[in-house]
Structure 1
Amino acid sequence: MPTPPTPPTARPLTPAARRVLDSAHELFYTRGINTVGMDLLAEHAGITKKTIYDRFGSKDALVVAYLSERDRRWRAYLNGRLAPLPDARARVLATYDALGEWLAGHGRRGCAMVNACAELPDPEHPGRRVAREQKEWTRGLYRDLAAGTGAADPGPLGDALLMLHEGATVAFTVLGATDSAATARRAADALLPSS
């Protein structure tokens, strides 16, 4: 399985930095990156703005840390779900089961990476790099899994599986389609080569 990205900083988080990152995780995801200022973050974390800047340097760096951690959590969750499965077909289908469970428990506002890209219009923003890397990883995962199924052309199949994944996320968020991941799973099953 592909591994999670390396953390943006090599030094371990202090307790205050952990509180800041936990607050950023909650506030950036529920309220949006651009609507959450450093004053609100400091108040929510119970620390000073100076502490935020001492620990992270800038809001951009905090955004990168937030997105990187969310990405690591998702990859660890998904890899944990896929690792024990016997074959690529079962792993492909399990990605949609995992997605449905993740959305129900952690995704009421959809994909944090897509949300960040919508809020960070500068294509060179470091937060967009994290989002792009996460989507590239997901694309690579689906292509690798498609190749493992014996598909004649695994690249396009992997891309189609990714589109089902992303579409399920949007349908869950925008339409309130709580069964979107299950629908995507059925569509994926129809696309996979016969066993």
Structure 2
Amino acid sequence: MRPSKRDELVQNALTIFYREGFHAAGMDLLSAETGISKTTMFKHFRSKEDLILAVLKLRDEQFRTWLFSRMEEAETPKGQLLALFDALGEWFAEPEFRSCMFIKAASEYPDPAHPIHAQAAEHKRLLFGQVEKITAQAGADDPAALARMLLLLKEGAIVTAHLGHEKDPAKDAKAAAAALLSGLPG
């Protein structure tokens, strides 16, 4: 089934916003690169911010589906937690890697009450929930604390990869994660 004009716009806008940033990618650029007129865009979305929210929702679904499926390939909960960092390494190696869209969104819309910032925070909350569940399955004494530590390593690796001043931040983060996980069974 062919995607609708709306779905096509959201997918193309995701690519453009990821590459350019939210404020830098204006409606004229979006129209020129997607081939969709601004009039048609505004038929589907009341504002650029509504389009950004739709893009963030799509990116959240795509990213979590990809990341969790990569993690689930490991046989044990501990292995799944370490696989998070292997998946990050794959992502960082992609030529189009431009950091985390949600970190960017929260940075460009810094007010925590802003819907775009709130949606970026929700993505991180959903990641936390899944990682906390796996840390509990792995036998952590304090699953929430361990999940927070692992996600701090993840976020730090993303920023470090974006800045490009370290050779393999995913590998470094995985080594730190392995140290945190060393006391867990299997």
Using the size of structure 1 for normalisation, the TM-score is 0.86
Alignment of 1:52 with 2:52, yes or no, is: no
Q: 1:21 aligns with which of 3, 7, 10?
A: 10
Once the two structures are superposed, residues 91-125 of structure 1 have per-residue CA deviations (whole angstroms, 9 ceiling, x without a partner) of 00001111111222276221110101111133222
Question: Alpha-carbon deviations, 1:109-155, whole Å to 9, x = none?
Answer: 21110101111133222221221111111222222221111122222
What's the counterpart of residue 101 of structure 2?
Answer: 112
Correspondence for 1:148:
137
Calculate percent identity across the aligned residue pairs: 37
What's the CA shift for 1:57?
Answer: 2.1
Other structure's SS at 1:150 match? coil
Determine the C-alpha separation between the residues in 2 that align with 1:178 and 1:101.
Answer: 14
Correspondences of 1:35-74 after superposition (within 5 Å): 35-74=24-63
* SS of alignment partner, residue 110 of structure 1: coil
Larger deviation, residues 111-120 vs 168-177: 168-177
Retained in 1: the 8 A contact 2:139–2:184? no
**Higher alpha-carbon deviation: 145-154 or 179-188:** 145-154
| 1:81-100 to 2 correspondences below 5 Å | 81-100=70-89
* 1:106–1:70 CA distance, 2 compared to 1 (3 A): farther
Whether 2:119 is the aligned partner of 1:130: answer yes
Letter in 1 for 2:124: K
CA deviations on 1:42-72 (whole Å, 9 max, x unpaired) are 1111121010010122111100111111111
AA partner of residue 35 (structure 2): G
Moved over 3 A (4+): none
Give the length in aligned residue pairs.
183
1:167 is matched with: 156
The AA in structure 2 aligned to 1:180 is P
Cα pair distance change 1:122/1:13, threshold 3 Å? farther
Which of 159, 172, 177 lines up with 1:183 in the alignment? Answer: 172
**Runs of 5+ unmatched residues, structure 1:** 1-11
The letter of the residue matching 1:99 is: L
User: For the structure 1 residues 99 and 132, does the alpha-carbon distance in structure 2 shift closer, same or farther, using more than 3 Å as the test?
Assistant: same
State the distance in 2 between where 1:95 and 1:187 align: 13
